[in-house]
Amino acid sequence: MLQMIYRDYGRTGKKVSLLGFGGMRFAHVDDHDECVRMMVKAARGGVNYFDTAPGYFETRSEIVCGKGFEELRRQKLPYYVATKTFKTTEADIRREIEGQLERLKAPAIDFYHIWCITSLENWAARKRDGILSAFQKLKDEGLVRHICVSSHLIGGEIETLLMEGVFEGVLFGYSAYNYRTREKAFNAIRAKRLGAVVMNPLGGGIVPQNPELFKFITREGESAVSAGLRFLWDHADISVTLVGFRGEADVDEALAAMDGYVPRTGAELAAVKEKGGEGFEGICTGCAYCDDCPQEIPIPRYMDSYNQKLLKENGDDELRQRLGMHWSITPQGAAKCIECGACEAACTQHIAIIERLKYIARLSA
Ligand code: SF4
Ligand code: SF4
C-alpha cells in the first residue's frame, strides 16, 4: 500500500509531499486531458506540491496546470502552487503575476520563486532593481504566500546566497550525479530552516541511463528510477523531490518508488555518498575545488557540460545545450584559458580540464 511521506517546508508550517510534480517535461503539453489526468493521478497518490514556470512551454505549462488545479479542487484533492519569475522590477513582476494567477486559476501563489540565480553578481543586480521589496509587497497583499529562490549556484556560493536569510525556501538541482556540487547548500538550509526542493533528481536521464555508474546507490531489487529518487529521499533536509513527468507512466513509476521505501539511516547515507566518488572517474562531480581561475572561467560549469558529452549519445549537442540552456555560458568563453594549470592541480578527479576547454572552444567554430 502506497504511503506518501510528508515533510515540513522549512518554517512555513506547510507539510509538503516528498515527491513533487514538475511541470517542465509534459510530452504533450497541449493535450490538456492527458496532463490533467497526470496531475490527478499524482494527487491521488498523495503528491501535493506542483511546480511550474512561465518559461515552460512558453506559459503553456502554467495554463495546463491551472486546468489541473481546477480539477483537483473539484475532486477535493489538496495541492500547493509553485511557480517563478525572471522579472526584477516591481512593475514587471506585478504584470507577470497577474498573468500567472489567471493562468493558474489561483488566488495566490504558495511558493513564488525568484528564478534561476546564476551568479552572486546576478543576484546583486536583481536586488538593485528592488526585487526583494517587490516580493515582500506581494506577500503583504496576500498574492504570494512564501518567498523562495531557484538557483544554479554551486559550491559555497549557494550557501552564501541562502545565508542572507531572505528566503523561506530554495529550489536547486541535486541528484546522485551531481550531489557533491551543492552539498554546502544544506549547511544554510539547516541553519536558516529553509524548505528545500530539489529538481532534476535523475540528472536529466544520466542516472537511469548509466546503471553501472550508479550502482553505488542501488539496492537489491530497485529500478534505476527508484534508486535515484530514494537516494534523495534518504536526505532528511530535502522537503520535496521534483520529477518532471512526461506522461502517466512516469507518474506511476515515481509513485511506485514510494511503495515499500525504507529510508537509510544518516550513517548509511553518508557511507553511500562517500563511495560515490569512486565511480566517477573522468566525470566532473562539481566539487568546485578548481573554481579559482585567474581568467574567471566558470570551470565547474564547463566541466559539468562536458559530462554530457561523456555520458550521452550525440554528446556534442547535449554539451552545447547544457552550456546555453542550463548555465547561460558560451563555447567561446572556454577560449579565455591561458593554460596556467592551476585548475588541473586542484581537480579532485584529475580531469584534463585544459583539453576539455579547448574542445568546448572549438564547438563555437
Ligand atoms: S588552466 Fe585555464 S581554466 Fe585552468 S585556471 Fe588556468 S586559465 Fe583557468
Ligand atoms: S573539474 Fe575537477 S575540481 Fe573542478 S568541479 Fe569538476 S571534479 Fe571538481
Mean pLDDT of the chain: 93
Any idea what DSSP says for residue 112? Answer: E
* 364 Cα–ligand 1 center, Å: 19
Other C-beta atoms lying within 10 Å of the C-beta of residue 271? 12
341 lines ligand 1 (CB under 6 A): yes
* 299 Cα–ligand 2 center, Å: 8
Decide if pLDDT at 145 tops 80.
yes
Higher pLDDT residue, 283 or 244? 244
Strand partners, 199: 173
Residue identifier of the C-alpha nearest atom 6 of ligand 1: 340
* Mean local confidence (pLDDT), 270-291: 79
Decide if pLDDT at 283 tops 90.
no
Minimum mean pLDDT among 11-15, 318-322, 336-340: which range? 318-322
Q: Counting ligands in written order, which one lies closest to the CA of residue 295?
A: 1
pLDDT of residue 5: 97
* 200 Cα–ligand 1 center, Å: 29
Q: Which atom of ligand 1 is nearest to the CA of 292?
A: 5
Write down the H helix ranges in the chain: 32-44, 60-74, 90-104, 120-128, 131-140, 155-163, 185-192, 206-209, 224-233, 248-258, 266-276, 299-311, 315-321, 342-346, 353-362
Residue identifier of the C-alpha nearest atom 4 of ligand 2: 290
pLDDT of residue 15: 98
Decide if pLDDT at 153 tops 60.
yes
* 227 Cα–ligand 2 center, Å: 25
Strand partners, 147: 112
What would the pLDDT profile of 201-210 be if each residue is shown by its tens digit?
987 777 888 8
Q: Counting ligands in written order, which one lies closest to the CA of residue 180?
A: 2
pTM attached to this predicted model: 0.84
* CATH 3.20.20.100, the chain: domain bounds: 6-273
C-alpha to C-alpha distance for 71 and 128, rounded to whole angstroms: 40
300 lines ligand 2 (CB under 6 A): yes
Q: Give the CATH H-level superfamily of domain 6-273.
A: NADP-dependent oxidoreductase domain (3.20.20.100)
Phi, psi values for residue 17, rounded to 5°: -75, 140
Decide if pLDDT at 112 tops 60.
yes
Percent of the chain with pLDDT over 90: 75
Other C-beta atoms lying within 10 Å of the C-beta of residue 244? 18
Residue with cell 557540460: 305
Is 243 strand, coil or helix? strand
Decide if pLDDT at 280 tops 70.
no
Residue identifier of the C-alpha nearest atom 7 of ligand 2: 284
Cell of 293: 581561475
pLDDT of residue 250: 96
199 lines ligand 2 (CB under 6 A): no
343 lines ligand 1 (CB under 6 A): yes
Residue 335, C-beta contacts closer than 8 angstroms, at least 6 positions apart: 357, 361, 364
pLDDT of residue 104: 98
Residue-by-residue DSSP string for 138-205: HHHTTSEEEEEEEE---HHHHHHHHHT---SEEEEE--TTTGGGGTTHHHHHHHHT-EEEEE-TTGGG
* Mean local confidence (pLDDT), 65-73: 98
Higher pLDDT residue, 1 or 353? 353
Q: Counting ligands in written order, which one lies closest to the CA of residue 178?
A: 2
pLDDT of residue 287: 72
* 347 Cα–ligand 1 center, Å: 11
Cell of 28: 504533450
303 lines ligand 2 (CB under 6 A): yes
* 287 Cα–ligand 2 center, Å: 5
pLDDT of residue 182: 84
**AA identity, residue 83:** T
pLDDT of residue 192: 97
Spatial CA neighbour of 153 closest among 271, 298, 281: 298
Decide if pLDDT at 356 tops 70.
yes
Residue with cell 512561465: 54
